[in-house]
Amino acid sequence: MAAAIRSATESETFDLAGNSTNTIETTIRSAFASPLELNDMIRLTFVTGAGKLGRSRYDDDAAKVVTSTLRELGYTDDRGASCVVECAGSFKSQHDTGKNLKTIVVFPLIQNTLAEMEGLDLKDNGPAILEEGSPQQLIAMASINTFERMLSSKCTSWSQKKACVAVIEEVKDVVQSLDNKLLKGTLLTETEQDFYDTCDLSSLESKQTNTKNEMQKQVEEGKITISEKEKLMNQVIEKLQALEGDIKDATENKKPKRLLKLQNQKTKLTEREETLDAIKPCSPHRLKHQPDIEKLRKEMQPLIKLEKETNGRLLSIKEISAMTRKEEIEDDILYLEESSRGWFEEDEDFQQRIDASRALARTKAAAVKKVVKKPSGAGSATNRGSRPISWIVPGAAKKTAGRSAAKKKSSNSNAFAAMMMDSDSD
């Protein structure tokens, strides 16, 4: 299939039915690892799912594997992409309601051979230092103020900030390597020179320091999850165990200065262990698109009810349209969930946030369905649809009868008076 994709010269459709996730990943990676040799843009459609009748033929994670592999290869998700050269290197998810198929449409990166035929200057300035549009590039190129805003929105958790610190360290190594090349008298390529002129080493160090401060602040405020707390506790315990051995060696070798330094380190680590132990972990951070997801789930509730009611019988045209809308909503929710993933977020941590979002949806749905029933029975003073029961106290029967007779007499008099008022006589 990968060979067929690379040899395609016009728009084609490829069905992924019966393929495992490993096969799909290998196929996509092999097909799009390098640009396709084309003059014009083409549309490559991959069928990743179907309706109820054909759903079992496709792996549940087929679409997810396709999109994640494309992202790793530098492709971007663009729901407004179309079959033009400007959209090269993008993809989008679609639901063909007519055929009831779920698809991923890819607009591949292409090597425009027409430019070579016309004798245009295609000077190679060397490979890009950092992938265009990647988090690494954005971190390296952003100003301090812009970086701080990105850090708060893209790296919400402590774990993501820790990964961000490591990424900044890698970018610093790249800048240092370019600096070493210049010191040796080696000329930089145009791409390397542009990167070196734009990315300042002191700016990277400031970004790294700011990120570490935010990490420390997050721990002090107790804004860490239970898994992050366990990681931090394990780090402290490992350091304390290593210190015990160093303290023992310093004591046996009679090194008082080193021993004092190690004991001070142990005191600080012990205090940190106590601080971490007292922290009550917080819930995973809500998804970025949680409000939009909740709106879609609310819209889907009556459709779920309709699906249960119509199970096992032929559907009307209106009901088929409603079921199609339900599948579209499910696709939109999956898209918004995936789009809520932050920078450097581990699969396990991201799945915990998704599970928390779905658990919240189930809780809200259960609360809506819950019906509070009013107590009823023989002991009730009233019953729905019936008149209230009148209780007669012994000894009050005569008084009640007298009041009834007087009331009846008064009613008859009023009726007679009304008749007289309606008369034409004087």
Q: What is the mean pLDDT of residues 186-202?
A: 86
- At 375 the pLDDT is 52
pLDDT in tens, 12-24: 999 998 889 989 9
Q: How far apart are CA 48 and CA 59, in angstroms?
A: 8
Q: In the predicted model, is pLDDT for residue 169 greater than 90?
A: yes
pLDDT in tens, 308-335: 887 777 878 888 888 888 888 988 898 8
Q: What is the mean pLDDT of residues 270-294?
A: 89
Q: What is the mean pLDDT of residues 57-67?
A: 90
For residue 111, give both structure tokens: 């090597």
Q: In the predicted model, is pLDDT for residue 125 greater than 60?
A: no
What is the CB neighbour count within 10 angstroms for residue 248? 12
Q: In the predicted model, is pLDDT for residue 191 greater than 60?
A: yes
State the chain's mean pLDDT as an integer.
Answer: 81
- At 126 the pLDDT is 60
**pLDDT band, residue 417 (cuts 50/70/90):** very low
Q: What is the mean pLDDT of residues 60-81?
A: 88
Q: In the predicted model, is pLDDT for residue 66 greater than 90?
A: yes
Q: In the predicted model, is pLDDT for residue 120 greater than 70?
A: no
| Per-domain boundaries in the chain | 2-114, 127-222, 226-281, 290-369
**pLDDT band, residue 112 (cuts 50/70/90):** low
**pLDDT band, residue 419 (cuts 50/70/90):** very low
Q: In the predicted model, is pLDDT for residue 376 greater than 60?
A: no
Give the residue with greater pLDDT, 373 vs 207. Answer: 207
- At 201 the pLDDT is 87
Q: What is the mean pLDDT of residues 299-304?
A: 87
pLDDT in tens, 85-109: 878 889 998 887 667 888 999 999 8
Q: What is the mean pLDDT of residues 151-170?
A: 92
Q: SS3 string of the chain? A: CHHHHHCCCCCEEEECCCCCHHHHHHHHHHHHCCCECCCCCCCEEEEEEECCCCHHHCCCCHHHHHHHHHHHCCCEECCCCCCCHHHCCEEEEEEECCCCEEEEEEECCECCHHHHHCCCCCCCCCCCCCCCCCHHHHHHHCCHHHHHHHHHHHCCCHHHHHHHHHHHHHHHHHHHHHHHHHHCCCCCCHHHHHHHHHCCHHHHHHHHHHHHHHHHHHHHCCCCCHHHHHHHHHHHHHHHHHHHHHHHHHHHCCCHHHHHHHHHHHHHHHHHHHHHHHCCCCCCCCCCCHHHHHHHHHHHHHHHHHHHHCCCCCCCHHHHHHHHHHHHHHHHHHHHHHHCCCCCCCHHHHHHHHHHHHHHHHHHHHHHHCCCCCCCCCCCCCCCCCCCCCCCCCCCHHHHHHHHHHHHHHHHHHHHHHHHHCCCCC
**pLDDT band, residue 424 (cuts 50/70/90):** very low
pLDDT in tens, 25-46: 999 999 998 888 887 889 899 9
Q: How far apart are CA 112 and CA 39, in angstroms?
A: 5
Q: In the predicted model, is pLDDT for residue 416 greater than 50?
A: no
Nearest to 48 by CA among 86, 92, 9, 5: 92
Q: How far apart are CA 204 and CA 377, in angstroms?
A: 75
Segment among 154-158, 161-165, 272-276, 380-384 with least mean pLDDT: 380-384
Q: In the predicted model, is pLDDT for residue 425 greater than 70?
A: no
Q: In the predicted model, is pLDDT for residue 253 greater than 90?
A: no
Give the residue with greater pLDDT, 276 vs 394. Answer: 276
Share of the chain above pLDDT 70, in %: 82
Segment among 121-130, 135-144, 147-156, 220-229 with least mean pLDDT: 121-130
- At 32 the pLDDT is 92
This prediction has a pTM of 0.56
Q: What is the mean pLDDT of residues 395-420?
A: 47
Q: In the predicted model, is pLDDT for residue 379 greater than 50?
A: no
Q: In the predicted model, is pLDDT for residue 421 greater than 50?
A: no
Give the residue with greater pLDDT, 191 vs 79. Answer: 191
Pick the most confident of 87-91, 129-133, 164-168, 249-253: 164-168
Q: In the predicted model, is pLDDT for residue 113 greater than 50?
A: no
